[in-house]
Structure 1
Amino acid sequence: MERVKIIRYSPWLVHFNTGACNGCDIEVLASITPHYDPERFGVRLAPSVRHGDVLVVTGVVT
Protein backbone atom coordinates (compact mmCIF):
# COMPACT_ATOMS: atom_id res chain seq x y z
CA MET A 1 0.00 0.00 0.00
CA GLU A 2 2.82 2.40 0.81
CA ARG A 3 4.41 1.92 -2.61
CA VAL A 4 1.18 2.90 -4.35
CA LYS A 5 1.01 5.97 -2.15
CA ILE A 6 4.54 7.02 -3.15
CA ILE A 7 3.92 6.53 -6.88
CA ARG A 8 0.78 8.65 -6.72
CA TYR A 9 2.70 11.82 -5.98
CA SER A 10 4.55 13.80 -8.61
CA PRO A 11 8.36 13.81 -8.46
CA TRP A 12 10.09 17.14 -7.94
CA LEU A 13 13.62 17.38 -9.31
CA VAL A 14 16.56 19.11 -7.67
CA HIS A 15 19.37 19.97 -10.09
CA PHE A 16 22.90 20.03 -8.66
CA ASN A 17 25.96 21.01 -10.70
CA THR A 18 29.34 19.75 -9.47
CA GLY A 19 31.32 22.15 -11.64
CA ALA A 20 31.37 21.38 -15.32
CA CYS A 21 31.20 23.17 -18.66
CA ASN A 22 27.39 23.64 -18.35
CA GLY A 23 26.73 21.32 -21.30
CA CYS A 24 24.89 18.83 -19.09
CA ASP A 25 23.03 21.65 -17.35
CA ILE A 26 21.71 22.90 -20.67
CA GLU A 27 20.50 19.39 -21.57
CA VAL A 28 18.73 18.91 -18.23
CA LEU A 29 17.05 22.29 -18.37
CA ALA A 30 16.12 21.76 -22.03
CA SER A 31 14.25 18.60 -21.08
CA ILE A 32 12.09 20.61 -18.68
CA THR A 33 11.04 23.24 -21.22
CA PRO A 34 7.47 23.50 -22.57
CA HIS A 35 8.54 21.65 -25.74
CA TYR A 36 8.53 18.35 -23.79
CA ASP A 37 6.06 19.58 -21.13
CA PRO A 38 6.97 17.35 -18.17
CA GLU A 39 4.58 19.29 -15.93
CA ARG A 40 1.64 17.43 -17.45
CA PHE A 41 3.03 14.40 -15.59
CA GLY A 42 3.72 16.47 -12.47
CA VAL A 43 7.51 16.67 -12.88
CA ARG A 44 8.87 20.07 -11.88
CA LEU A 45 12.02 21.66 -10.52
CA ALA A 46 12.10 22.09 -6.78
CA PRO A 47 13.41 25.37 -5.34
CA SER A 48 15.55 23.64 -2.71
CA VAL A 49 16.81 20.22 -1.63
CA ARG A 50 14.21 20.05 1.13
CA HIS A 51 11.37 20.17 -1.37
CA GLY A 52 12.83 17.78 -3.94
CA ASP A 53 12.25 14.06 -4.37
CA VAL A 54 14.89 13.27 -7.03
CA LEU A 55 18.46 14.61 -7.07
CA VAL A 56 19.88 15.11 -10.58
CA VAL A 57 23.67 15.53 -10.41
CA THR A 58 25.51 16.85 -13.47
CA GLY A 59 29.20 17.39 -14.04
CA VAL A 60 32.37 15.61 -13.10
CA VAL A 61 32.50 13.82 -9.77
CA THR A 62 36.08 13.24 -8.59
Structure 2
Amino acid sequence: MVLYTDGLIEVPGSSIQARQEQVKITLAAHRDVPMEEFMDTLLRSSQEKRNGQPDDICVIGIDV
Protein backbone atom coordinates (compact mmCIF):
# COMPACT_ATOMS: atom_id res chain seq x y z
CA MET A 1 0.00 0.00 0.00
CA VAL A 2 1.32 3.42 -0.91
CA LEU A 3 -0.13 6.69 0.33
CA TYR A 4 1.14 10.01 -0.96
CA THR A 5 0.42 13.72 -0.99
CA ASP A 6 -0.31 15.72 -4.12
CA GLY A 7 3.31 16.90 -4.29
CA LEU A 8 4.23 13.52 -5.76
CA ILE A 9 1.88 13.78 -8.73
CA GLU A 10 1.53 17.53 -9.33
CA VAL A 11 4.29 18.37 -11.78
CA PRO A 12 4.21 21.54 -13.88
CA GLY A 13 3.52 20.66 -17.50
CA SER A 14 2.13 17.18 -16.71
CA SER A 15 -1.43 16.11 -16.09
CA ILE A 16 -2.26 14.67 -12.69
CA GLN A 17 -3.82 11.65 -14.39
CA ALA A 18 -0.61 10.96 -16.30
CA ARG A 19 1.44 11.16 -13.10
CA GLN A 20 -1.02 8.88 -11.26
CA GLU A 21 -0.65 6.38 -14.08
CA GLN A 22 3.14 6.62 -13.81
CA VAL A 23 2.92 5.83 -10.08
CA LYS A 24 0.82 2.74 -10.91
CA ILE A 25 3.31 1.64 -13.57
CA THR A 26 6.24 2.13 -11.20
CA LEU A 27 4.46 0.17 -8.48
CA ALA A 28 3.65 -2.71 -10.85
CA ALA A 29 7.23 -2.82 -12.16
CA HIS A 30 8.68 -2.94 -8.64
CA ARG A 31 6.16 -5.14 -6.83
CA ASP A 32 8.80 -7.77 -6.00
CA VAL A 33 11.45 -5.42 -4.60
CA PRO A 34 11.72 -4.29 -0.97
CA MET A 35 9.50 -1.33 -0.08
CA GLU A 36 12.50 0.87 0.70
CA GLU A 37 13.92 0.33 -2.78
CA PHE A 38 10.53 1.04 -4.36
CA MET A 39 10.15 4.26 -2.38
CA ASP A 40 13.62 5.42 -3.49
CA THR A 41 12.69 4.71 -7.12
CA LEU A 42 9.35 6.50 -6.81
CA LEU A 43 10.86 9.61 -5.24
CA ARG A 44 13.75 9.68 -7.72
CA SER A 45 11.28 9.47 -10.61
CA SER A 46 9.24 12.35 -9.20
CA GLN A 47 12.33 14.51 -8.73
CA GLU A 48 13.47 13.83 -12.30
CA LYS A 49 10.07 14.93 -13.66
CA ARG A 50 10.26 18.19 -11.68
CA ASN A 51 13.44 19.42 -13.38
CA GLY A 52 14.70 20.89 -10.12
CA GLN A 53 11.43 22.59 -9.15
CA PRO A 54 10.89 21.93 -5.42
CA ASP A 55 7.66 20.74 -3.83
CA ASP A 56 6.77 19.08 -0.57
CA ILE A 57 6.23 15.35 -0.90
CA CYS A 58 5.14 12.83 1.69
CA VAL A 59 5.00 9.13 0.81
CA ILE A 60 4.10 6.28 3.13
CA GLY A 61 4.68 2.69 2.01
CA ILE A 62 3.29 -0.29 3.89
CA ASP A 63 3.97 -3.93 3.09
CA VAL A 64 0.78 -5.94 3.61
TM-score, normalization by structure 1? 0.32
Structure of greater Rg:
1
TM-score, normalization by structure 2? 0.31
Q: Higher helix fraction: Structure 1 or Structure 2? A: 2
